[in-house]
Amino acid sequence: MTSVVTRTGKTMGGIRLMDYSASPRVPVLLDMVAALSRAREPSEVLVEFSKRWIGMNAPAGGYVSLSTRDLAPGEYRITRLLNEDNLNDISRDDTWTSPQKPPVHRGGLLGSIVEDGVPVVIQHMELRDDPVVGSALADYRSMMALPLFDDGKALNWSIQLKREPDAFTVTELEDTLLRSNLVGGTVRHVQTAKQLREAQATMRREVDKIAEIQKALLPQELPKIPGVSISTSYETFDQAGGDMYFFHELGTDRVTGAGDPDGWWGMFIADVSGHGPSAAVVMAMVESILASVPFSQQMNPGEILMYLNRHLSSKRIANAFVTAFIAGFDPSSGELKYARAGHPPPLLRRCCEVGQEMTIDSLDAVGGLPLGIRFEEKYDYAADRFNPGDTLALYTDGITEARSPDGRFFATDGVIQALRDCNGQAYCLVDTLKKQLLEHEAGQRPQDDQTLVALHRDL
């Protein structure tokens, strides 16, 4: 009859299951491997392994761990030395976090062992006259020394000691050599995981700082353009994003506000290729270049895009480009002059009389390559009208390229539908589009930054 070892001693499918509940070692081993899987510090691995291993291998003996990392042949550091008096206090010295390394030793029995570089069992041992560890390990009569490998090199040693003169056998050495190196691998894995966590935490803090800077470049409050209500939505793929928008009263300095306003307002929306910290850095560059533009209604939108493009192209930012839409608007006449560099054309919902069909036009009369691709690129501008009752939607492609679970894009049709379903007010367009976008994504995480700027011309 086939026998299967288990804790219960029950039968399964006619097979008698052997009961291991009488063995004190199996529960300890189960507890040990569970504890090792939870370890987050290298010292925890040694502590959890040693506490349980010592408990299973009474009578207790001594333990020494050595390191030969970055040392000459025959040199070693004693990273831990324990005997019966402190064997249960295995965690008292943490060599991974100690600011000072243990001293370097040469000679003695341990020096000979690490210089030979092979596992060894020593019986009937005499250590009283050993120049390095004689006083601490004089009472031990047998030793098992095992190299612990890192990247194919014996850089650490695990040494067990017993008072009995013949406590260790070659068979035990074979088993323990494998076991100790597996534990050593666990230590390295935990140490690497700790370093990765620390590196990720550092990177996350830096990304958070970039995000704070990038968000500070956005308007802190929406402007009061005569006869125009504005509402915005800005959602980043990660903490830091590559979208931006701004409004500016032409004829005044963008930083100080000084100057004589000429009645026109500038509006700008842009999107850096990609997303995350690198996109945020490029967008900060765009912002700094824009801050140097002497905005006035005499400078047409196409000229401003050419100014931006030349400065960005000269920076030679590898694999990065910027789509942008810029417009000048005169609230007194409703005139709208605009230029576009590879950006999705804004949509203009025209006001209509009751009973008439609503029209939604795309501001796509002009266009050009995204900024930063070709230094010589020229950008024309076009003129339109933003009349009372009209609604203007400026957005980035993170909205139109948002996918549903089955892979469908939200597309320009999604923005058009939101314009049709809202009442035309800026806040209503933002609320409607965000709701419909969430329904479209159905729990899918957006793959890009999503920005919407809605403007409504009051009647």
Residues 258 and 165 in one domain: no
pLDDT at residue number 90: 41
Contacts of 54 (CB under 8 A, 6+ apart): 60, 87, 88
CA distance 322 to 342: 8
Structure tokens of 207?
């990304």
For the residues 315-323, what does the mean pLDDT come to?
A: 81
- What distance in Å separates the CA atoms of residue 389 and residue 75, rounded to the nearest whole number? 85
**Res. 49 pLDDT band, cuts 50 70 90:** low
Sign of the dihedral through C-alpha 303, 308, 309, 314: positive
Whether residue 121 is found in the same domain as residue 83: yes
pLDDT value, residue 2: 43
* Same domain membership, residue 441 and residue 401: yes
Give the CA count within 13 Å in the CB-facing half-sphere of 92: 10
310/314 Cα distance (integer angstroms): 6
- The per-type count for the chain, helices as H runs and strands as E runs, is 10, 19
The answer on pLDDT for 184 being more than 70 is no
Query: 293 and 162 share a domain?
Result: no
What is the per-residue pLDDT for 177?
Answer: 79
* Comparison of pLDDT for 187 and 428, the residue scoring more: 428
Q: How confident is the model at residue 363 (pLDDT cuts 50, 70, 90)?
A: very high
Mark whether 262 and 373 lie in a shared domain.
yes
- Kindly state whether residues 309 and 369 are assigned to the same domain: yes
Of 78 and 45, the one with more pLDDT: 78
Mean pLDDT of the chain: 82
Residue 98 is part of which domain span?
25-195
Task: Provide the phi-psi class of 7: left if phi over 0, else alpha when psi is between -120 and 50, else beta.
Answer: alpha
Of 163, 195, 227, the position where a domain reaches its end is 195
Which backbone phi and psi does 82 adopt, to 5 degrees? -125, 145
Confidence of residue 185 (pLDDT cuts 50, 70, 90): low
- Tell me, what's the pLDDT at 17? 54
* Count of structural domains, the chain: 2
Question: CA 115, CA 133: separation in Å to the nearest integer?
Answer: 17
H/E stretch holding 266 reads: strand 265-272
CATH of the domain at 332: 3.60.40.10
82-122 per-position pLDDT tens digit: 776 665 444 444 444 555 678 999 999 999 999 988 889 99
pLDDT at 26 (0 to 100): 65
pLDDT band at 402 (very low <50, low <70, confident <90, very high): very high
What pLDDT does 262 receive? Answer: 79
Give the closest residue to 156 by CA, choosing from 95, 65, 219: 65
Mean pLDDT of 152-171: 86
Amino acid at 11: T
Could you tell me the CATH number of the domain that includes residue 88?
Answer: 3.30.450.40
pLDDT at position 54: 54
Q: Which range has the worst mean pLDDT, 148-162, 252-266, 360-374, 437-451?
A: 252-266
187/265 same-domain check:
no
Distance CA 438, CA 446 (A): 10
Look at residue 133 and tell me if it is in a domain: yes
Q: What is the pLDDT of residues 219-247, one digit of tens each?
A: 788 989 999 999 999 988 766 678 899 89
Does residue 5 surpass a pLDDT of 50?
no
252 domain-assigned: yes
Alpha carbons 335 and 331: distance in angstroms, whole number: 7
**450 pLDDT tier (thresholds 50, 70, 90):** very high
Residue 12 forms part of a structural domain: no
Name the region of 124 (left: φ>0; alpha: ψ -120 to 50; beta: rest). Answer: left
Percent share of the chain, pLDDT over 90? 39
In a domain, 20, yes or no: no
Which of 111-120, 173-182, 258-267, 429-438 has the highest mean predicted lDDT (pLDDT)? Answer: 429-438
The pTM of this model reads 0.64
